[in-house]
Amino acid sequence: KLEDFFSSEHNRNSLLVGTGNLQIVPFQEAPGSPSAGTLLNRWKREATLVGARTPVENDQLVQLKLKTSFLVFTIFAVATLGTKLLLSTPPSDLRNGVNPKQSFPSYEITLLDERFHAEGPLPLVWIFDQLTGAGKSSKENKSDEHTIHGMFRIVAKPLGDGKHLAFSSKAIVDINIKFPAILLQLLPVDKAIIEKEGSKSLQKSLERDIPPGLDKFYASYVQWLQQ
């Protein structure tokens, strides 16, 4: 059954590693990082914000490690994700014309925590740290100076002929950063340029990493069918 394919952690992880620049590992509690219980409560709040389904205790936490370039920096990030397997079609898809008698599985992957640091020219790294709170999750920032919300969903949907299916994906990313006035004066370029370049970098990362992940997921599906 298709549910068996979606239930495989290996197949799920193939979606997340994308181009191979990413590494996925099981979640492990660490000093200075939120506990599994804290992350579950955060997941419930984030699910409301990004339109995901409410998690339950048997939903899984994983960590995704990333290395990327941005302007003059090399950025290292560790993201904690909540992964939820849905073995039935979400109500939103039923409203979009999917036959309610045809139940198809899907994944919802929600960003719960992100910690990162930059390497590059020391003065600019210091500014980067002040702007982003590098090393500290934005969700722990009580002053709400910066917040990041994200969710990735992939759904199996039947095609019009009723004999074939397709995998449809959707990504939602919302990043808000408040720039302190003193730091605005220290920026090497205008804030609008940084915002534009940051958005372009994020979009390029999504366009680079999501399609290869879908390709790997599809390849795993074909291999599963042949077993």
pLDDT in tens, 16-31: 876 566 778 888 877 7
Most confident of 28-32, 124-128, 214-218: 214-218
Least confident of 82-86, 185-189, 216-220: 185-189
For the residues 210-219, what does the mean pLDDT come to? 83
CA torsion, points 36, 42, 48, 49, in degrees to nearest 10? -130
d(CA 189, CA 73): 14
Closest CA to 84 of 116, 60, 105: 60
What is the side-by-side strand order in the sheet with 165-177? 22-26, 60-70, 73-86, 106-119, 146-158, 165-177
pLDDT for residue 142? 44
For the residues 31-52, what does the mean pLDDT come to? 87
d(CA 90, CA 86): 8
Residue 12: HSE in the Cβ half-sphere, 13 Å Cα cutoff: 27
pLDDT for residue 74? 81
For the residues 220-225, what does the mean pLDDT come to? 89
pLDDT for residue 2? 86
Strand bridging mode 146-158 / 165-177:
antiparallel
pLDDT for residue 119? 81
For residue 208 the two structure tokens come to 């680079």
Q: How many residues does the structure list for the chain?
A: 227
Q: Is the pLDDT of residue 118 over 50?
A: yes
pLDDT for residue 174? 77
